């Protein structure tokens, strides 16, 4: 296998400045909706990149669970590696890679915890098994084997056989407030179209084309 020879040309579409909405959130919504309508589209899959106080980065894929003018929301265990890094350094980035459309969106900004009310509303909307998973998993910690997790799951199923499990203290939401967006459209010969929205101190968004 010659990995160096593996490549795909991108030729589905281009991206020009007049096509962009002045509001990056509206531009994101436009692209999100197009991907959502695509066969087997999962536009809410994103990569979250974090770095702790030591500067060492880490990244993982997770699901966007809501966005609006306040920011982009996801939920996780507050004891996880990503949560610990967020506590040390609340600057993160999100990347959405929409392969079918040959597009990417990168969002950079600061992140804070959501309110307990927001976390509880989402937690209560999840399937019961997902709620049990959030309760029993000390995410990112070392466990002896899978049997340990399955034993804890059985115990929770017995404990909450007739009532809903409560929102655990160690689990909840985060909201990323963007300071920069980048919209990327793949093009032939790697001459991709890239536009960044940069937030100025005045609160205005400046749109700039970037070299590919």
- DSSP tag of 99: G
Angle at which helices 128-136 and 116-125 cross, to 10°: 130
Q: Which one of 53, 116, 154, 190 is the catalytic residue?
A: 190
> 35 with 43: CB under 8 angstroms?
yes
Rg of the Cα trace of the chain?
Answer: 20
- DSSP tag of 202: T
Phi and psi angles of residue 17, each rounded to the nearest 5 degrees, phi first: -55, -45
103-113 and 45-51 strand pairing: unpaired
The string of DSSP codes covering 69-83 is TTEEEEEEETTSHHH
Phi and psi angles of residue 58, each rounded to the nearest 5 degrees, phi first: -150, 155
Q: Rounded CA gap, 132 and 136, in Å? A: 6
Q: Rounded CA gap, 168 and 135, in Å? A: 6
**190 assigned to active site:** yes
Find all residues with CB under 8 Å of 179, minimum gap 6, and list them. 108, 109, 110, 198, 199
Catalytic residue annotation: 190
């Amino acid at each position: 296998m010659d990995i160096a020879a593996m490549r795909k040309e991108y030729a589905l579409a281009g991206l020009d400045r007049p096509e962009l909405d002045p509001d990056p959130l509206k531009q994101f919504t436009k692209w999100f909706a197009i991907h959502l309508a695509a066969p087997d589209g999962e536009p809410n899959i994103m990569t979250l990149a974090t770095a702790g106080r030591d500067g060492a980065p880490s990244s993982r894929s997770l699901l966007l669970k809501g966005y609006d003018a306040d920011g982009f929301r996801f939920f996780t265990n507050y004891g996880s590696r990503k949560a610990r890094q967020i506590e040390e350094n609340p600057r993160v980035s999100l990347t959405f890679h929409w392969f079918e459309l040959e597009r990417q969106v990168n969002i950079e900004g600061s992140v804070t915890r959501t309110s307990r009310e927001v976390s509880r509303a989402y937690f209560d909307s999840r399937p019961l098994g997902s709620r049990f998973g959030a309760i029993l998993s000390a995410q990112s910690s070392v466990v002896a084997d899978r049997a340990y997790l399955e034993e804890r799951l059985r115990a929770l199923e017995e404990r909450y056989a007739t009532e809903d499990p409560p929102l655990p203290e160690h689990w909840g939401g985060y909201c990323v407030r963007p300071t920069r967006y980048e919209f990327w459209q793949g093009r032939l010969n790697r001459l991709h179209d890239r536009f960044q929205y940069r937030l100025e101190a005045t609160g205005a968004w400046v749109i700039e084309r970037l070299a590919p």
